[in-house]
Amino acid sequence: MTDHDHRRRAGFKERTRVADARTTFLDAVTPLDRTEQVDLADADGRTLAEAITAPRAVPHYRRAAMDGYAVRATDTHGASSRNPAVLRGGDVERVHTGSPVPEWANAVVMIEQASELAGDIEVSDAVAEGENVAPIGEDVESGQQLYDPGHELRPSDLGLLKAVGLDTVEVFDRPDVAVIPTGEELVQSHPGPGEVIETNGLTVSRLVERWGGTARYEDVVTDDEAALRDAIETNADADIVVTTGGSSVGERDLIPDVVSDLGEVLVHGVALRPGPPVALGYALDTPIVMLPGYPVACIVNAVQFLRPALKHAGNQSLTDPPTVDATLDGKIRSEPGVRTFARVTLAETESDTANATDRTATPVRAGGSGVLSSVALSDGWVVVPESVEGYAAGDTVPVERWEWSP
């Protein structure tokens, strides 16, 4: 009996738990050590490959924090509206917010507290030394440690890096992910009877880009061992290979066998719904995620396994998707020992509490994992853990907004 025959007959009687499958697969993924120098304008979301210290202070000169007059603080002592201090000539200089403060001055009188009179300046409120003056390095000191390697850059970081005098930064390369849709029934447009529009490869490749990788969206490969083998070998130079379709145990589910010949299948069959027939392994030393062909199952497994692998390869931290609490207005069923991802829509209603709103989560009534609209038209999903047999209407549950996650 061949390995394929054994897999087909055995089915998925034993399925690996999601957390265990993820850990097993991540052990086969090596973080990239390739780096590149990029302009700050292109560095948003990239991961630093070097520690950064400030090459210059911010501000790099003493600057006025207000519009007004640069003065010596001692010259204003005792000044009040009834007894203003009168400053003449070299004892006062007009300054604007952000402009340099003269070396001889140590404070700035706000323009509202001063007035001109016959060429002199009358100050109606005393100022202390340093008042309304931003000293050198008030924001950032020269040589100050700013970021460690592994920090994921945000727009505010880019502004700070530019302020301290940097134009480029060294970052880790984005993982290169080859996305290979498979299936003899798939076409890109104008489907005939028995043909299906290819959507999984498009969806997964865009998710790869959103998650910080670069995607190669390959042509559809038919259900033929030689063709599948060639496609995987051709793309084995990628950092991660992803296939869609052909991952189960049917006659045309050939991907696990091809990967087994080229490397090793580490996991085949995971205790989650929708999408238990996912497989994880490596081929020619390249990690490979074998996603199911049904669109919902494909997306669920991409979020659970491809996203963590891509983040790990790209030296990025894996953050949890944002969640919101909502009240269920329908029942969600789940099998014990299985992690279920139940798609829901969200609606907000006015709460009895002042200035507050309540959220209602409505389970999407769509059977099977092939109904793509059940994901595309939902607002997120409720994750039912393995230890829970579902939720009842009226329960408060967290709704995972997975598609809002980078």
Rounded CA separation 81/236 (Å): 80
DSSP state of 306: I
Give the Cα separation of 226 and 359 in Å (integer): 52
| Between residues 367 and 25, the one the model is more confident about | 25
Burial of 254 (C-beta count, 10 Å sphere; 0-12/13-18/19+)? buried
What does the pLDDT average to over 148-174? 97
Which residues are within 8 A (CB) of 100 and not within 5 positions of it... i.e. 6 or more apart? 61, 62, 63, 64
Element (H, E) at 259: helix 255-262
The answer to whether residues 399 and 381 touch, using CB atoms and an 8 Å cutoff, is yes
| Burial of residue 256 (number of CB atoms within 10 Å: 0-12, 13-18, 19+) | buried
pLDDT value of residue 3: 55
Asked whether the predicted pLDDT for residue 1 surpasses 50, the reply is: no
Q: For residue 147, report the phi and psi dihedrals to the nearest 5 degrees.
A: -140, 150
What whole-number distance in Å separates Cα of residue 57 and Cα of residue 49? 23
d(CA 246, CA 257): 10
Asked: is 323-404 a CATH 2.40.340.10 domain? The reply is: yes
Q: In the prediction, which pLDDT does 6 show?
A: 53
SS3 content of the chain, % helix, strand, coil (to 5): 25, 30, 45
Domain ranges of the chain: 3-34+174-313, 35-53+147-172, 63-134, 323-404
Backbone angles phi, psi at 132, to 5 degrees: 65, 25
Q: Please name the residue ranges forming H helices in 78-174.
A: 155-163
pTM for the structure as a whole: 0.86
pLDDT per position as a tens digit, 375-403: 889 999 999 999 999 999 999 999 999 99
Tell me the pLDDT tens digit for each residue of 297-333.
999 999 999 999 999 999 999 999 999 999 999 999 9
- The CATH number for 3-34+174-313, chosen from 3.40.50.300, 3.20.20.80, 3.40.980.10, 2.60.40.420, is 3.40.980.10
* Size of the chain, expressed as the number of residues it contains: 406
Beta bridge partners of 390: 333
Give the separation between CA 50 and CA 171, rounded to whole angstroms: 7
Planar angle of CA 201, 207, 209, nearest 5 degrees: 105
The yes-or-no verdict on residue 216 having pLDDT over 60 is yes
Give helix 3-10 / helix 255-262 axis angle, nearest 10°.
Answer: 140
pLDDT tens per residue across span 203-214: 999 999 999 999
Tell me what pLDDT residue 370 has: 80
Q: Which CATH architecture has domain 63-134?
A: Beta Complex (2.170)
Mean pLDDT of 215-240: 97
pLDDT tier, 252 (very low <50, low <70, confident <90, very high otherwise): confident
- The SS3 assignment for 321 reads coil
pLDDT of res. 251:
85
- CATH dotted code for 35-53+147-172: 3.90.105.10
